[in-house]
A and B are shown apart, each in its own frame.
Chain A
Amino acid sequence: MRDVSAHPYMANSVPAIQQEMLDSIGVATVEELFVQIPEDHRLSRPLHLPPALSERELRRHLLDILSKNSTTEDNLSFLGAGIWQHHVPAAVDEIVRRNEWLTSIYGEPSSDHGLYQAWFEFCSQLGELLNLDLVGMPVRSWGTAAGHALRMAARLTGRNEVAVVRAIDPERLSIIRNYCEPPEMANHIAIRLVDYDPATGLIDLDDLRAALGQQTAAVYFEVPCYLGVIEHQAAEIAAIARVAGAQTIVGVDPISLGVLSAPSAYGADIVVGTIQPLGIHLHAGGGVGGFIATRDEPRYAAEYPTLFINIAETIKPGEYGFGRALLEQSSYDQRENGKDWIGHSVYMWAVAATAYMATMGPQGFVEIGEIILQRAHHAASRLGDLEGVRISFPSGFFKEFVVNFDDTKKSVSEINDALRAEGIFGGHDLSSDFPELGQSALYCVTEVHTHADIERLVGAVQKVIAR
């Protein structure tokens, strides 16, 4: 037995208790319980880890490190590009941090009834925003949702090519490529990138028609697209896809759905997207989460890789509980014969998102959509008025827009460095991922940005480009 103080996290770290347990088992030392591990598998030397810290020391240590971060609250930030600053109501944070469900593992539908109900309410409220009856539990991100949806479409159609909008987040596209498998694999899904019109940012419909054929399992596009534009040819794109016998998969930002049409209205078969804007902080990127939703048809339900939560009667008449439907098609049950694979996701963010949607209500979504549209357009317009600054796609966007600095003779990187010195995080630099857009940045403006914030940005940019 080690002669050390008991550790606060381990009730059985008291030597006398360990002795009691050893006596009960009938062995002399703990070491005797490790006999299964052969000697030559054992560690060759003691571990060298930094010394253990008490809670006070740990707090001090972490505060020292964290103070080296400078956040979007310390600065005025216009970063988006896959994860966005929105207001998170304090009540949502209180709910999501409850120990009961934060630390738990799922029990039975009865013993974890509350968690199951919260999950069901997440799917149900998202279903109202989307006007769709079938919503799975969240997947790990928008990119993984898109990857799974494309594989679902390939299985549904028995086809092996997909058409994907080129104005897409490069991170998301990289994930999609991993999900669609390299060309060497037998079930490789080929990806055809569909161009966008350089004047509008909208999908080039001629290029789309040329890309589709009998091999096309799905068309994937986004509303708004990565470059911020609201793809208003959506219904036409879906119609073109349908003629080709392909599934229409649409990616959306659900915070836009108080003011923008639900994709089901313009012909989407599978809808994916992010849940991060729904009450989830940035968490240095750890706030991302995704979803998959469709019409409630068995052929779609049969292809989901996600968990489903269903409402069902209990054995007491009139009482309802919640269970996990279609678990038997998941890889938990079917292993390598399951639909893709399942595992830890971001179900805690489903709790945040359900609380957020309930807090917002229908009017909240309408208002936030309108406020974002107005603030973003105002910011774009004010920036576009600056000498040498151009808004690449000046109308029909939601909360993000592309700002081009070519005529300032300055790079985005230079401008952002100078803005950062003023306490401003400029838009995400697109110059390496979208060279055809020149020195452009993707600016994000949401409900958190006030008129004064926008004026501060405009003033700072003016100062920077005048240098």
Chain B
Amino acid sequence: MSVELKQYQAPVWNEPVILDMGYPGRRGVLFAAVEPEIRQHVGDASDLIPFAMRRQDRPALPELSEPEVLYHYLRLSQQTLGMMGISLFGTCTMKYNPQINEAMAWRPEITELHPLQHEDTMQGALEIVHNMDLMLRELSGMDQFVFQAGGGSEAAFTNCAVTRAYHASKGELEQRDEVIVTIQTHPCNPATAAAAGFKVITLMLDESGYPSLDALKAVVSNRTAAIMVNNPDDMGVYNPDMKEWVRIVHEAGGLAFYDAANFNGTMSKLRAREIGFDACMFMLHKTFGAPKSGVGGPATGAYGVSSELAPFLPSPLVVRDGDRYRLDADRPQSVGKIREFLGNVQVVLKAYAWTRSMGAEGIAQASDISVLSNNYMEKGLLAIRGVTRSHPEATTPRMEMTRYSFQQMKEETGVDIHDVQNRMSDFGIDPLWASHEPWLLPEPFTPEAGEMYGKEALDRWIAVIARISDEAYSDPELVKTSPHNQAVHRLKPGMIDDPSSRSMTWRAFKRKMAATG
């Protein structure tokens, strides 16, 4: 596996902040003046506004022609490495976002559809939502999905709202005020549980890489509202006791929620409902091929439940009556709205398209490839000086991700994981993902190969890590001052922390710079 690394240089445009561009009087878009009939009829616009509410100043926006705006942002897009290199951003399941899906989702049949239109005029959109629901039911064993949540975290919040409604319906909500998570559950789970008003109990891991059954038993009680867990976790460790976990929680009257964040390694291999879970969540913008938009969305957390929990789901649900689809909002036990309207229907369409292009066979193969590729990478990575693997006692092959540590290298060279991230981008490779908080392992990193990239790309990624390790041991300053071939250099530490200099808008920046001279 000898890989010759390519020379790389990011575009350096030195693009000013747009508020510092332009010339007074330039226009980027014009609007036709209102017709004379209207003007004669209603008079001046300013007279139509209550005096107290008229704006006195002009917003200090830039004044630019259309091409100036267009090319400014195209230059910025070029200064975004994103997926152009190789992005093995673990826990996020980097995946190809097929162009056909984008092309279809940007057709006016979707972009110009208003969510409050009569059902008869949006049968196509409802059909896609319903059919995606059916496919996710098949993949999970659940009985009903809803797509209102605009991401995984919002789906976790949906789960907390449904959990509240379920226990409230039994008159037990006040008593059942505890949600149990593990330290390896994604932060959105304990965070949404806390925001929903629950107390949060966190289980730590033992040597096997997952919390012991004894730990779970020590905290489950008649105060337990739910557990919220992922499996496998972000280290690629699968908790084999999960059926027993769910049984114990059910016996105590609690609900079990499965965060299928790491579904790429298990899709077609297991179904959450068969393990016993009452509810689960899929992220359509990761596992199902819809784009992440710089981890910003619009995204979709598809939330599915057993028939017992279905009455509590947000409204409306898309249901099929014969060959017609309709919105069912007459659901008295529903938690109502988590977010306006039906969710990001265009994202559901992209995920639907991805699932239809993969089929059952393709999905099974994607899961095989992602686990195979991860284990293939592990061999190459562990051969690199300064790299170790989490939970060395757990020797069975990891699933679609493995958690590594550069702690040894840091101790020996002073080069830390942030330095490695920065240096990677000098080779045109997207910086690695370290770990969600908290860092159980020091200087962590978590590549996830996924099914998109070829073996050559994985080899190149490994070769870059190997090169950076060599550099750390031979010329640590080179790594610590990286990047050298990027659009800009690394930020100076500290400036972000001081309220007197930290500026989240251009106007704040100008004011603070003027104040400090």
A and B touch in the complex (CB under 8 A): yes
Say whether, besides A7-B362, A52-B361, A331-B187, A117 and B76 are in contact (CB < 8 Å).
yes
Q: Using a CB-CB cutoff of 8 Å, which residues 237-264 of chain A contact chain B?
A: 257-262
Say whether, besides A58-B100, A319-B488, A111 and B42 are in contact (CB < 8 Å).
no
**Cβ of B59 and Cβ of A99 under 8 Å apart?**
no
Determine whether A159 belongs to the interface, using a CB cutoff of 8 Å to chain B.
no
Of B337, B361, B509, the contact of A2 (CB 8 Å cutoff): B361
Assembly CA distance A36 to B270 (angstroms) = 12
Of A53, A335, A396, the contact of B357 (CB 8 Å cutoff): A53
Q: Which residues from B are CB-within-8-Å of A440?
A: none
**Cβ of B297 and Cβ of A344 under 8 Å apart?**
yes
Assembly CA distance A47 to B122 (angstroms) = 30
Q: Which residues from A are CB-within-8-Å of B6?
A: none
Q: Look across to chain B and name the residue whose beta carbon is closest to the beta carbon of A35.
A: B396
> Min CB distance, B412 to chain A, in Å?
23
Assembly CA distance A271 to B397 (angstroms) = 51
Q: Which residues from A are CB-within-8-Å of B511?
A: 133
Q: Which residues from A are CB-within-8-Å of B425?
A: 107-108, 110-111
Assembly CA distance A229 to B164 (angstroms) = 36
Assembly CA distance A308 to B502 (angstroms) = 10
Say whether, besides A82-B341, A368-B31, A381 and B41 are in contact (CB < 8 Å).
yes
Q: Which of the segments A191-199, A211-219, A350-358 contacts the partner chain? A: A350-358
Q: Using a CB-CB cutoff of 8 Å, which residues 321-359 of chain A contact chain B?
A: 321, 323-325, 331-338, 340-351, 354-355, 357-359
**Cβ of A79 and Cβ of B17 under 8 Å apart?**
no
Determine whether A386 belongs to the interface, using a CB cutoff of 8 Å to chain B.
no
Determine whether A38 belongs to the interface, using a CB cutoff of 8 Å to chain B.
yes
Q: Which of the segments A12-20, A402-410, A457-465 contacts the partner chain? A: A12-20
Assembly CA distance A357 to B13 (angstroms) = 22
Determine whether A4 belongs to the interface, using a CB cutoff of 8 Å to chain B.
yes
**Cβ of B82 and Cβ of A101 under 8 Å apart?**
yes
Determine whether A77 belongs to the interface, using a CB cutoff of 8 Å to chain B.
yes
Q: Look across to chain A and name the residue whose beta carbon is closest to the beta carbon of B492.
A: A313
Of B109, B341, B373, the contact of A288 (CB 8 Å cutoff): B341
**Cβ of A181 and Cβ of B197 under 8 Å apart?**
yes
Q: Using a CB-CB cutoff of 8 Å, which residues 12-71 of chain B contact chain A?
A: 15, 17-19, 22, 26-29, 31, 33-35, 37-39, 41-42, 45-46, 48-64, 66, 69-70
Q: Which residues from A are CB-within-8-Å of B376?
A: 21, 24-25
> Min CB distance, A189 to chain B, in Å?
10
Q: Mark A130-163, 1 if CB is under 8 A from B, else 0.
A: 0111111100111110000001000000000000
Q: Look across to chain A and name the residue whose beta carbon is closest to the beta carbon of B128.
A: A65
Determine whether A456 belongs to the interface, using a CB cutoff of 8 Å to chain B.
no
**Cβ of B232 and Cβ of A36 under 8 Å apart?**
yes
> Min CB distance, A340 to chain B, in Å?
5
Determine whether A208 belongs to the interface, using a CB cutoff of 8 Å to chain B.
no
Q: Look across to chain A and name the residue whose beta carbon is closest to the beta carbon of B513.
A: A311
Q: Mark A40-75, 1 if CB is under 8 A from B, else 0.
A: 111110111111111100110111011111111111
**Cβ of B197 and Cβ of A186 under 8 Å apart?**
yes
**Cβ of B195 and Cβ of A340 under 8 Å apart?**
yes
Q: Mark A405-438, 1 if CB is under 8 A from B, else 0.
A: 0000000000011001000010010000000000
Say whether, besides A340-B195, A344-B299, A124 and B371 are in contact (CB < 8 Å).
no
Assembly CA distance A81 to B340 (angstroms) = 11
> Min CB distance, B418 to chain A, in Å?
8
Q: Which residues from A are CB-within-8-Å of B122?
A: 69-70, 284
**Number of residues of chain A lying within 8 A (CB) of chain B:** 217
**Cβ of B64 and Cβ of A359 under 8 Å apart?**
yes
Q: Which of the segments B213-221, B303-311, B446-454 contacts the partner chain? A: B446-454
Q: Look across to chain B and name the residue whose beta carbon is closest to the beta carbon of A151.
A: B195
Q: Look across to chain B and name the residue whose beta carbon is closest to the beta carbon of A380.
A: B42
**Cβ of B115 and Cβ of A107 under 8 Å apart?**
no
**Cβ of B452 and Cβ of A11 under 8 Å apart?**
yes
Q: Which residues from B are CB-within-8-Å of A175?
A: 336-340
Q: Which residues from A are CB-within-8-Å of B195?
A: 151, 179, 340-341
Determine whether A466 belongs to the interface, using a CB cutoff of 8 Å to chain B.
no
> Min CB distance, A406 to chain B, in Å?
22
**Cβ of A284 and Cβ of B83 under 8 Å apart?**
no
Q: Which residues from A are CB-within-8-Å of B507?
A: 124, 127-128, 133
Q: Mark B485-517, 1 if CB is under 8 A from A, else 0.
A: 011111110011001001111111101000000
Determine whether A32 belongs to the interface, using a CB cutoff of 8 Å to chain B.
yes
Assembly CA distance A360 to B269 (angstroms) = 51
Assembly CA distance A451 to B157 (angstroms) = 45
Assembly CA distance A54 to B356 (angstroms) = 9
Q: Which of the segments B90-98, B248-256, B403-411 contacts the partner chain? A: B90-98
Determine whether B474 belongs to the interface, using a CB cutoff of 8 Å to chain A.
no
Q: Which residues from B are CB-within-8-Å of A91?
A: 28, 66, 69-70
Assembly CA distance A345 to B62 (angstroms) = 26
**Cβ of B109 and Cβ of A121 under 8 Å apart?**
no
> Min CB distance, A65 to chain B, in Å?
5
**Cβ of A13 and Cβ of B84 under 8 Å apart?**
no
Q: Mark B412-428, 1 if CB is under 8 A from A, else 0.
A: 00000000011001000
> 8 shortest A-B CB distances, which residue pairs?
A347-B296, A343-B153, A104-B82, A344-B151, A52-B359, A285-B341, A185-B197, A285-B115
Q: List 14 A-B contacts (CB under 8 A).
A: A18-B372, A65-B124, A79-B116, A101-B80, A110-B488, A127-B507, A185-B173, A284-B113, A285-B341, A314-B491, A331-B188, A357-B61, A365-B59, A374-B48
Beyond A47-B363, A59-B104, A141-B340, 19 extra complex contacts between A and B, CB < 8 Å: A7-B358, A7-B362, A9-B98, A36-B240, A91-B69, A105-B294, A111-B487, A132-B505, A134-B504, A175-B340, A185-B196, A185-B197, A308-B504, A331-B190, A338-B187, A348-B296, A361-B27, A378-B42, A381-B42
